[in-house]
Amino acid sequence: MDDTIIKTHRLVLRYQRKSDIKFLVDFWMDEEHTKFIGGPRDKQFLIDEFRKVAEDPKRHEYDLWPLELKNTHELVGHAGFIPKTIKDKDYVELNYYIDKSKWGKGYAKEIAKALIEYGFKVKKLEKIIAIIDPENEASKAVAKASGMKYWVNEMRSGKIKSVYSIKNELK
């Protein structure tokens, strides 16, 4: 069974497998990695959630999916779309999380651009957003390099976040 969602020049975004659980748990428990996204997360919660996902990885239309290097199949991150509400309207949020050992190699920008294209061409989305901590300069740079522009500030979980967006010009 092919579980590929997106292939880029160097990366494969695919549905989760049971063999991904250890990487994903460690990934989301890392304090430095989750600094801007409300982490680290609880280990048992993560194990339980990733086990559920592994049992039915295609259950949700939008989710975060494991990101691996195309040539070696090494896991390097977690990326995808999550439904969010901004100003009482539903959107799909672009997420690109790269393992800190792989930062600075352009993987976030590569998968962000591919996800935007997928969102517009395959999912026919009108607009894609990215919710970013204003102090996360690297994430803002990826959003901008992917064609997104600052849209609005939004209070989320007691903290002001910057919302970037891109409109589907194909529609």
pLDDT in tens, 43-86: 999 999 999 999 999 999 999 999 999 999 999 999 999 999 99
pLDDT at position 37 over 90: no
Q: Which residue has the tokens 């901590």?
A: 133
Q: For 45-113, list the strands marked E by DSSP.
A: 64-69, 75-86, 89-98
pLDDT at position 118 over 60: yes
Domain boundaries, the chain: 4-167
Quick one: fold of 4-167?
A: Aminopeptidase (3.40.630)
Q: Rounded to whole angstroms, how far apart are CA atoms 91 and 68?
A: 26
Confidence of residue 128 (pLDDT cuts 50, 70, 90): very high
Neighbours of 36 (CB within 10 A): 17
